[in-house]
């Protein structure tokens, strides 16, 4: 857990210079900043405004994932919408039931937006703003019925307004059927505490303003550190090897593996896991764009290398034992499993190579043999690549 907290401190300190935390805390609003690149997508910064509203102390919040503030009455569909927004790296504004430390629930307008790195277009943070929605007695007018009972309607309206301000993408019209307008409300009268609650323009404005201010501060402090950020998705260069959501998904697989692209000249590595870097001693930028052969050296058996080439050519999975070398030139026997990975078109898009250090090969983890764990990686990669290339993200 310590290294996790260490990573969390680092995440902010490396990206933004000096007094960024103080600057952020000058804002009165309730908000959190998360880092999707750290396992668990934890909160890396929490405002004093947040702590006041939710009743937690800073140490109880940093390192946690935002879902801990949800509870049994939180609408699952809304949770799903937020999850999809994170995955698609877009902003969202949605009413959500959250819970304070003392267990009491309350409605708030949740406004979330991504923060992109200017250099490589990756999402480095998500900003989440919480604007409490005070309880109001429901009036039986047509508009109130539409807005309160219908989560979809709510989502549509809120989302559209947010997108316009935060992202430069074209807005996708939801165009829901007008059948929704005629949904009758059997619960006329008193609003139960956990009935859906719409934010008014006031709350939306507050949320937009807060997000905007936070983004300005982050931008300013990133300039000072030299690692610029921005609120809009900049053109992706350098990183451009894999879509960001695939990158993030693959980042959750905690084993050594790489993805290579056979359609690019010399089949370069387009993704390398953290554990691969740990195993081989290389830094990410030293391996991306290069063919895996750099791992081989003087005593590597050329016959094995040829064998690998053949399997790749025939798009067959294979397991070989090959002598590889780390960056520091120390050799290790690599029990390497390679498999073709298809995307949604059904055609091979990548090859995945999963490495096991042979000296560890008899180590069972939880009863699962290393080979089985290799296959588990292959399966996880196949699901991710196929699913995330299925196209049209419908907002």
Angle between helices 201-225 and 2-15 (to 10 degrees): 80
Q: CB of residue 266 vs another protein: minimum separation in angstroms? A: 25
> For 173, which DSSP code?
P
Restricted to residues 163-192, the positions that interact with another protein (CB under 8 A) are 174-177, 179-180, 183, 186-187, 192
Nearer to another protein, 36 or 121 (CB): 36
Q: Which of 226, 265, 302, 367 binds another protein (CB under 8 A)?
A: 367
Window contacting another protein (CB under 8 A); options: 13-21, 149-157, 278-286, 300-308: 149-157
Q: Are residues 309 and 293 in contact, defined by beta-carbon separation less than 8 angstroms?
A: no
With vertex at residue 122, the alpha carbon angle to CA 119 and CA 126, rounded to the nearest 5 degrees, is 120
Q: Are residues 61 and 46 in contact, defined by beta-carbon separation less than 8 angstroms?
A: yes
- Dihedral of the alpha carbons of 386, 388, 390, 394, in degrees to the nearest 10: 160
Residues 273-292 as x/- pattern, contact with another protein by CB under 8 A? --------------------
378 binds another protein (CB under 8 A): yes
5 binds another protein (CB under 8 A): no
Q: Are residues 381 and 253 in contact, defined by beta-carbon separation less than 8 angstroms?
A: yes
Q: Are residues 39 and 252 in contact, defined by beta-carbon separation less than 8 angstroms?
A: yes
Q: Which of 41, 122, 138, 206 binds another protein (CB under 8 A)?
A: 41
83 binds another protein (CB under 8 A): yes
Separation CA 260–CA 268 (nearest Å)? 5
Q: CB of residue 181 vs another protein: minimum separation in angstroms? A: 11
What are the DSSP E strand ranges found in 87-122? 92-99, 105-117
Q: Which of 105, 132, 157, 289 binds another protein (CB under 8 A)?
A: 105
SS3 143: helix
Instruction: Name beta bridge partners: 117.
Output: 229
Backbone φ and ψ of 305, nearest 5° = -65, -40
Restricted to residues 306-335, the positions that interact with another protein (CB under 8 A) are 317
Q: CB of residue 20 vs another protein: minimum separation in angstroms? A: 23
Q: CB of residue 259 vs another protein: minimum separation in angstroms? A: 12
Restricted to residues 108-137, the positions that interact with another protein (CB under 8 A) are none
29 binds another protein (CB under 8 A): no
Q: Which of 6, 19, 52, 77 binds another protein (CB under 8 A)?
A: 77
* Helices and strands: H and E segment counts in the chain: 13, 11
Residues 241-260 as x/- pattern, contact with another protein by CB under 8 A? -------xxxxxxx------
Q: CB of residue 328 vs another protein: minimum separation in angstroms? A: 29
Considering only CA atoms, give the Rg of the chain: 24
Site residue total, another protein (CB under 8 A): 92
SS3 130: strand
For 114, residues 6+ apart whose C-beta sits below 8 A from its C-beta are: 89, 90, 91, 123, 125, 126, 127, 231, 233
346 binds another protein (CB under 8 A): yes
Q: Which of 104, 143, 168, 216 binds another protein (CB under 8 A)?
A: 104
């Amino acid at each position: 857990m310590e290294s996790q907290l260490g990573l969390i401190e680092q995440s902010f300190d490396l990206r933004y210079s000096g007094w960024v935390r103080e600057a952020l805390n000058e804002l009165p609003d309730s908000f959190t900043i998360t880092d999707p690149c750290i396992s668990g997508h934890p909160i890396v910064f929490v405002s004093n405004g947040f702590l006041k509203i939710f009743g937690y102390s800073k140490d109880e919040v940093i390192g946690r994932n935002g879902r801990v503030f949800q509870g049994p009455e939180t609408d699952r569909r809304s949770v799903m919408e937020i999850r999809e927004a994170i995955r698609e790296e877009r902003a969202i504004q949605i009413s959500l039931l959250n819970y304070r430390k003392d267990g009491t629930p309350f409605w708030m307008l949740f406004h979330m937006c991504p923060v992109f790195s200017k250099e490589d277009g990756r999402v480095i943070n998500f900003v989440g703003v919480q604007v409490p929605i005070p309880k109001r007695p429901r009036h039986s007018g047509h508009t109130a019925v539409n807005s309160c009972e219908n989560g979809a309607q709510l989502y549509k309206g809120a989302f559209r307004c947010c997108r316009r301000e935060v992202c430069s993408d074209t807005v996708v019209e939801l165009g829901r059927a007008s059948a929704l307008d005629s949904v009758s409300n059997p619960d006329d009268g008193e609003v139960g505490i956990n009935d859906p609650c719409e934010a008014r323009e006031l709350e939306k404005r507050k949320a937009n303003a807060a997000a905007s201010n936070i983004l300005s501060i982050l931008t300013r402090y990133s300039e000072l550190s030299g690692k610029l950020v921005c609120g809009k998705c900049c053109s992706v260069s350098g990183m451009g090897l894999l879509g960001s959501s695939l990158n993030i998904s693959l980042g959750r697989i905690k084993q050594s593996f790489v993805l290579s692209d056979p359609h690019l000249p010399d089949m370069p590595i387009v993704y390398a896991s953290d554990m691969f870097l740990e195993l081989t001693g290389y830094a990410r930028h030293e391996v991306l764009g290069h063919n895996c052969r750099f791992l081989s050296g003087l005593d590597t058996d050329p016959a094995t290398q040829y064998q690998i080439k053949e399997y790749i050519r025939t798009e067959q999975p294979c397991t070989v034992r090959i002598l590889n070398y780390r960056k520091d030139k120390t050799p290790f026997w690599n029990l390497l499993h390679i498999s073709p990975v298809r995307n949604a078109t059904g055609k091979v898009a990548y090859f995945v190579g999963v490495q096991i250090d042979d000296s560890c090969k008899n180590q069972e983890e939880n009863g699962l043999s290393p080979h089985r764990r290799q296959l588990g990686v292959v399966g996880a990669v196949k699901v991710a690549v196929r699913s995330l290339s299925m196209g049209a993200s419908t907002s």
